[in-house]
Structure 1
Amino acid sequence: MPRIEAGSVREHRAQRLAQLIDAAEAILGEGGVEALTAGAVAKRAGIARNSIYRYFDSIEDLLELVVTREFPAWIDAVERAIAAEATPEEQAAAYVRANIEQAARGTHGRRASLSRASLSPSARERVKHLHTSLHEALAGVVGELGVPQPELTVAVLQAVVDACIRRIDQGDEPATVADFAAAATHRLLTDAHA
């Protein structure tokens, strides 16, 4: 039985998995998807090659873990931003701003590129499901606004988020983009009520 390097088996597994994901991210950053092999990950993480399969079934599974690593914190940040606001209009603006801020803090561009080009269809579907949970939060807020076309409003607000995230991925100043997006959200919602 391997030596446990944490307070519990669960903590040990979480630490080891984090090490493996860190190793995979480093390899991807240096050599791309072609360099991501079981041997390279094991060597980088400092464990036996066959031991990595205790944590995931394949390199494709590890790649999915890399792509989705930031999602729990991202979703939590967006939900907290929405909850901090009192009105649905401010909650919608908070949704837009929080998504843009999360994209600016992380490695969204690289992860999105990996998701589009390197994940299996089933893994892409799981990533899509994670995005859907964010869209549902926005749909709930828009539903409270009572706008005449709630689904279209959600789609347009999400398009604002997506376009602004692409601008950040291309190098635009995140604070400027977030301010623009929040103002655009307020204008859109005002027009939707008109």
Structure 2
Amino acid sequence: MPRIRASTVAEHRAAQHRALLDVAREILAETGRPPTLSRVAARAGLARPSLYQYFRSSEDLLNAVVEDVFPRWSARVAVAMDAAATPADRVLAYVLTNFELITEGEHALATVLAEVAPGDTVAEQSRTMHQQLLEPLVETLHSLGVPAVPETAEMINAIVFAGSRLIESGTDLRTVWESARALLEPFLRATGMGPAPPEAT
């Protein structure tokens, strides 16, 4: 068993589990193929028998990666929205954080997972993430007094999806974000952001 670096066995196991998931994500992103237990163990510096304490099989490991990727995306967006000062800023934070995650490769990783993981597992996690992402956006749009909330949320997501395609095809984050903000800010000013800032002279 590896030397325990945490104050308790439970903390050590949690940290080791997190490290193994991160290694599996790296291998998946690099190769586009499901990571084997042998490869994960070798990169993590862990004996393969020790890996069975955390994952029963390569399929178990892959399912764990699927269950890790999508909730982390939703949580990252939720944290950014919670830190925003106004409802309008929350909407902008929603879009920007999604773009940042795409730039960091999370969307590409999710795409690879969709290709290699069991279909039902990815589909269920994808539906769950989509719902988790929509909930704070829908709540924010309600607070802004938007009359057609579900439709508006889907339109905002359409901007996110279009931006993701641009980013993944090579357009830099700043260009995509400034274009999206230029589309959204007039709408947000009309629904609660307030007057537009004076233009610089």
TM (norm. structure 2) is 0.78
What is the aligned partner in structure 2 of residue 78 from structure 1?
Answer: 77
Q: Provide Cα deviations, 1:67-109, integer angstroms capped at 9, x if missing partner.
A: 45455554344234323444433321221122212322x2224
Preserved contact between residue 66 and residue 121 of structure 2 (Cα < 8 Å): no
Residue of structure 1 equivalent to 2:197: none
Quote the sequence identity (%). 38
Cα RMSD for the two superposed structures: 2.8
Correspondence for 1:180: 179
1:28 aligns with 2:28: yes
Measure, in 2, the Cα distance between the counterparts of 1:23 and 1:102.
18
Q: CA deviation at 1:138?
A: 0.5
Q: Give 5+ residue unaligned stretches, structure 1.
A: none
Residue 49 of structure 2 aligns to which amino acid in structure 1? Answer: N
Asked if the contact 2:67–2:125 (Cα under 8 Å) also holds between the matched residues in 1, the reply is no
Count of residues in correspondence between the two structures? 191
Corresponding residue for 1:161? 160
Whether the 8 Å contact between 1:66 and 1:111 is mirrored in structure 2 is: no
Give the Å deviation of 1:2.
6.4
Greater mean alpha carbon deviation, residues 165-174 or residues 77-86: 77-86
Provide the C-alpha distance between the structure 2 equivalents of 1:150 and 1:127, rounded to a whole number of angstroms: 21
* Matched residue, 1:123: 121
Instruction: State the TM-score, normalized to the length of structure 1.
Output: 0.81
Cα deviation for residue 189 of structure 1 reads: 4.8
Q: Which residue of 2 aligns with 1:107?
A: 105
- Cα separation, 2, equivalents of 1:121 and 1:113: 12
In 2, the alpha carbon distance for the partners of 1:129 and 1:157 equals 18
CA distance in 1 between counterparts of 2:177 and 2:63 reads: 28
Unpaired segments ≥5 residues, structure 2: 193-201
Amino acid of the residue matched to residue 143 of structure 1?
A: H
